[in-house]
Structures are given as structure tokens and as C-alpha cells.
Amino acid sequence: MVLNISLPDRHTFYAGRAQKSSSSSSSSSSTTFQSIDPSTAKPVCTIHTSSQSSIDSAISSAKSAFPSWSSTPPIERARILHKAVQILRSRNDELAKIETLDTGKPFSETSTVDIVTGADVLEYFANLVASGGLNGESFRLRDSAWVYTSKEPLGVCAGIGAWNYPIQIALWKSAPCLAAGNAMVYKPSEVTPLHAQFLAEVYKEAGLPDGVFNVVYGAGDVGSYLTKHPDIAKVSFTGQVSTGRKVAGSAAGEMKYVTMELGGKSPVVVLPDADVDQAVDGAMMANFFSTGQVCTNGTRVFVPDTLKAQFERVLLQKIKEVRAGDLMDMDTNFGPLVSDAHYKKVTQYIRHGTTVDRARLLCGGFDQRPTNLPSQLKNGYWVSPTVFTDCSDDMRIVKEEIFGPVMCILPYSSLEEAVARANDTELGLAAGVFGKDINQCHRVVKQLQAGITWVNTWGESPAEMAVGGWKQSGVGVENGRRGLEAWVRNKSTLVEMGGTVPTVFAKL
Ligand code: NDP
């Protein structure tokens, strides 16, 4: 079934409503772009690029809303955010269909993961601030003096999202931001922008004051203008390492706070005693879920020489359960890639792996598409899940983030060697271990250089778990108690009660 949803044009959302771009000297004031259904390559919605004056208006609307919102007691802010959680959950399927249309993810995924995990995080931070999560600390310095430290919101913050988890990213950023008392101007990726207005309207319906959450649209130039704006206090960015470097660099020049959630090339280490069936399940989740378009993908799968043949055999058997097809069919668990540009990038990597790296292709390939696709999907950006084996660390497909359903199997002979090779990358987003001896799993996981690690599972990222990359994969964390700290600054106050002001200028 091809989704037939009629979507009105999208315009910059600020001061509580979508507003046409005001004319300005910016050349982009009247430009538009389209959201494309990746399964059919057909346009589904027109989005109007925010002009510079519209971005200014969105920031000034946030600035006006900030004093009142930041001084609203946390428990009252939490009530509004809880209402938004209820609305999101009650409209889950409606929004999931929009996400399926925009991203190409199967409905079986968007309806059970994308909104659910976003709403969970909103609920978590609402609960956290309502129950003392923003409390500071106080201590008696001496009999006559106290110090108290309070957590203060930052002001107007920018959220910039990648295209792969649109509503989830928007919620993972806006939830702690708003709960802490900040206002936000959010820019979704131009590739998957549809969720943003939906979320802005949900917040408004929940009672969020106008101007606290605003949306601007456009490509990198819009993001760049937003993040450099002098009224932006913090930038929370999710995207590629190369873009993150630029954004963090310009933010540092202005002394803005940053959170950077960037790319990865994460290792899965299968231990010699692992249950191969389970290790294959984990490796498949780490490579083919969301068609491999997950930042924490475990694309380098280290398998002991002793298990390699069995691992490959089980994998070829289980890969038959990757089911591409009608995205609304709940049995479909594999969608197309998100865009034509991304399709070209991923297939180019697969071609490189075959013809230049000369890795052994176990299944899939750059010219392979899932078979039996319905005729109306034949123009979509589909690739088959692809596995290369007998890979070596110097291959380009092993070193660079592909961000598609491409698994590389790397055989190893000793565990020390596997750990050293797993860590031999400038990235450090995620890592995982599969094995029966839990003590050994802990020993290995302890040595892996990554901010998010799993033992005998892959991919779950609950609201309570603080996640963020090491090395070039990011700065700071999202979620968990520590996730709230990223949206506040401390103010320390020393109160002297001794009755005299300590001074060196007393009369001699
Ligand atoms: P990009 O870096 O291309 O884009 C991310 C966002 O930044 C987009 O909204 C983009 O706009 C915007 N942007 C581009 N240039 C600039 C600039 N100069 N200043 C400010 N903003 C800019 O990433 P992708 O969208 O391709 O996302 C995929 C990447 O995201 C992968 O590397 C993946 O690993 C990573 N990711 C990391 C996650 C994590 O938690 N660590 C989670 C999810 C994804 P536009 O695209 O509209 O042009």
C-alpha cells in the first residue's frame, strides 16, 4: 500500500504558528525544496526555506518567551511536557506514517520505535525536573558562611538534526532543553523535515507558551546562520563528524556551549565462546536495522577464526529474514535508503569494497536490489543487505562510515589482537561484545574505547542511559541524568553572615 497523505506546505514556525518567510535581502527567502518518499522517489511535501529574517524572527520569538518559561516552576513545566507525551502517544500511528513517508523506514519500525523512544525521553526529563533534577547543592563553608550552587538555564538554544531519526532526535534535544527552562530553535535535516511542524503543534496543544519551541527549515547555510547567531547560547548538533567539526569550531569562537552527537564505525567483538546464533542476531541488528542508517551501527564485526565458517553459514541463513517490501505491511522489516544522494554514496562504497578493496562478497552487492518489490516501489532507493568477509583493517569500507546495510566481517586469532584492532579508529561512538563468559565480556568491554557499549545485545538506548561518543564521535551526552546537565549552567553564591565584610582595607 502506498501512503497517500496530503501534507500542506511547511513554513518557518515561530511565535506559536507557521509563518511565511518574510522578505529579506537573503537570496533564499523564497526558495523551496521537497520531501521525497524514498520508497517511490516521489515528492510528498513542499518546504519553504527560512530566510535570514525569518530565522531572526524565530530566534527573537524564543528570546521573548525565555524569561517567563525559565521562571516557570519546574513542576509546572513538567505538567505541560507530560501533556505533550500523552498527545504524542495518542497520535503515535499518525506521526509514524509521516515518518515512514519521509524516511522510508517500515511502519513496523516507526510505529514501535521512533515516536515511542522520543516520547519516553520527554517523559523522563519531565519526571526528572519535577522531582528535583534541577536542584543545586548547598554547604556550610564555615559557621558564618554558606555556599549555594543553582542550575540556571542557558537561554535560546539551537537544535540541529540529522535525517536518520527525525522525531526522536527532535525530542532528545527539545525534551531536556525545555525541561531545564530554555527555549529552542530547531532545524531538522532538509532530507526529513516533516516531523518538525507536527512536534511544534503537539507542544502548542499541550500548552507550551508560544515561542518556546520554534522551527526553521533549510540546508547547511540555514544551520550555519542559526548556530553563529549571537543570541544562541548553545548548539546541540547531530550529524557527520565533518559537519560537527565546522559547527563546533564556529560555536567555540563565540564561547557557545555545544553537544556533538556524531558518526561512528563501531566494532562488534564476538568472543570465542559466543553462542553463534545469538552473535549473528546481534550483528544483524547492528547492521541492518533501519537499513543500516543508525549512528551506532556495529559495522566492523570481529569474529574468531575458529567461528568464522559457522558465523557465515548462520548469517546467510538468517539474512533471508530481512524482508523488504510494502512499508505499511507489518511484516516488512527493511526499507530503502533515505535519498537518491545517499543511495549513490552507499552503492559507491559497496562497489569500492568489491572492485578496489577486493573484500570477499558474501551476499548483496552494489547492483543488488531486494527481489519481489511491488511495481510501485521499483523507483525507490533500495539496496540489498550486503556482507563482506575476510576484510582487513586497511580497507576503505572498514575504515569509513558508510551508513548503510553493509557489514564487514574481520577474522581474528587472539582476543588482544581483536581489542587492539577494534580500538584502532579515530571514532568511538559504540562497541559491543557477545560471549557466554560474562566476566570476560566485562573485561573486553572495559577495554573498548567507546561511549556507548553493549554486552549480548545491540542498539537499545533507553531514556535513562546517558549516550555520547568518545574521540571524534562527539562531545557531551544525551539522555540520563547527565543529559540534563548539558542544558544548564551553574551559579555559585557565597553568603557571609558574620556581620562584618572581610576586608584588607580596614583602618590601621
Ligand atoms: P550532516 O552532518 O550532513 O547534517 C546534519 C545536520 O546539519 C543537517 O540538519 C544539516 O542540514 C546540517 N548542516 C549541514 N551543514 C551545516 C553547517 N555548516 N552548520 C550547521 N548545520 C549544518 O549529517 P546527516 O544528516 O547526513 O546525518 C548522518 C550522520 O549523522 C551520520 O554520520 C550519523 O552517524 C550521524 N548521527 C549521529 C548520531 C549520534 O547520536 N551520535 C545519531 C544520528 C546520526 P541539511 O542536511 O539539511 O543540509
Check pocket membership of 189 for ligand 1, CB cut-off 6 A: yes
For residue range 178-197, what is the model confidence (pLDDT) as tens digits?
A: 999 999 999 999 999 999 99
| Cell numbers at 409, concatenated | 566481517
Residue 22 lies in a domain: no
Question: Across-strand partners of 338?
Answer: none
For residue range 395-424, what is the model confidence (pLDDT) as tens digits?
A: 999 999 999 999 999 999 999 999 999 999
What is the distance in A from the centroid of ligand 1 to the CA of 246? Answer: 11
pLDDT at 2: 62
Spatial CB neighbours of 397, under 8 Å, sequence gap ≥ 6: 349, 350, 352, 353, 357, 359, 388, 391, 406, 408
Residue 5 lies in a domain: no
Q: Whose CA is nearest to atom 21 of ligand 1?
A: 223
With CA atoms as reference, report the closest residue to 38 among 504, 435, 383, 382: 382
Say how many CA atoms lie within 13 Å of 414 toward its Cβ: 3
Q: What are phi and psi of 138, to 5 degrees?
A: -140, 150
Catalytic residue among 99, 123, 261, 401: 261
Measured distance CA(384)–CA(382) in Å, rounded = 7
Is 25's pLDDT higher than 70? no
- Ligand 1 atom closest to the Cα of residue 264 is 34
| Cell numbers at 380, concatenated | 525507490
* One domain, residues 229 and 298: no
Is 27's pLDDT higher than 80? no
Torsion sign, CA atoms 91, 92, 97, 103: positive
* One domain, residues 52 and 180: yes
| Cell numbers at 234, concatenated | 548553545
Say how many CA atoms lie within 13 Å of 368 toward its Cβ: 16
Measured distance CA(98)–CA(32) in Å, rounded = 19
Mean pLDDT of 47-68: 98
Which of the four pLDDT bands, split at 50, 70 and 90, describes residue 28? very low
Residue 12 lies in a domain: no
Residue 83 lies in a domain: yes
Is 375's pLDDT higher than 70? yes
Is residue 261 annotated as part of the catalytic site, yes or no? yes
Residue 298 lies in a domain: yes
pLDDT at 84: 99
* One domain, residues 155 and 283: no
* One domain, residues 483 and 409: no
Mean pLDDT of 419-443: 98
> In a 3-state reduction of DSSP, which class is residue 246?
helix
**Mean pLDDT rounded to a whole number for the chain:** 96
Cα Rg, the chain, nearest whole Å = 24
Mean pLDDT of 450-479: 98
* One domain, residues 157 and 173: yes
Mean pLDDT of 282-291: 98
What is the distance in A from the centroid of ligand 1 to the CA of 74? Answer: 31
Measured distance CA(122)–CA(184) in Å, rounded = 15
pLDDT at 21: 81
Task: Characterize the bridge pairing of strands 267-270 and 300-304.
Answer: parallel
Spatial CB neighbours of 347, under 8 Å, sequence gap ≥ 6: 366, 367, 383
Which of the four pLDDT bands, split at 50, 70 and 90, describes residue 22? low
Q: What's the chain's length in residues?
A: 508
* One domain, residues 85 and 224: yes
DSSP string, 364-414: --TT---TT--GGGTTS-----EEEES--TTSHHHHS---SSEEEEEEES-
* One domain, residues 405 and 272: yes
Measured distance CA(1)–CA(377) in Å, rounded = 10
pLDDT at 5: 77
Q: Whose CA is nearest to atom 14 of ligand 1?
A: 220
Is 384's pLDDT higher than 50? yes
| Residue spans of beta strands (DSSP E) within 121-278 | 137-142, 145-153, 156-160, 183-187, 213-215, 234-238, 257-261, 267-270
Residue that is written with C-alpha cell 543487505 in the block: 385
Residue 307 lies in a domain: yes
* One domain, residues 90 and 115: yes
* One domain, residues 46 and 164: yes
CATH of the domain at 399: 3.40.309.10
* One domain, residues 273 and 257: no
For residue range 2-18, what is the model confidence (pLDDT) as tens digits?
A: 667 779 999 999 999 99
Q: Which domain holds residue 316?
A: 267-455
Check pocket membership of 223 for ligand 1, CB cut-off 6 A: yes
Mean pLDDT of 379-405: 98
For residue range 211-264, what is the model confidence (pLDDT) as tens digits?
A: 999 999 999 999 999 999 999 999 999 999 999 999 999 999 999 999 999 999
> In a 3-state reduction of DSSP, which class is residue 36?
strand
For residue range 139-175, what is the model confidence (pLDDT) as tens digits?
A: 999 999 999 999 999 999 999 999 999 999 999 999 9
For residue range 72-100, what is the model confidence (pLDDT) as tens digits?
A: 999 999 999 999 999 999 999 999 999 99
* One domain, residues 418 and 290: yes
Task: Characterize the bridge pairing of strands 17-18 and 13-14.
Answer: antiparallel
- Ligand 1 atom closest to the Cα of residue 342 is 26
* One domain, residues 81 and 185: yes
pLDDT at 372: 86
Total domains in the fold of the chain? 2
For residue range 319-347, what is the model confidence (pLDDT) as tens digits?
A: 999 999 999 999 999 999 999 999 999 99
Residue 51 lies in a domain: yes
- Ligand 1 atom closest to the Cα of residue 474 is 41
pLDDT at 24: 46
CATH of the domain at 163: 3.40.605.10
Residue 496 lies in a domain: no
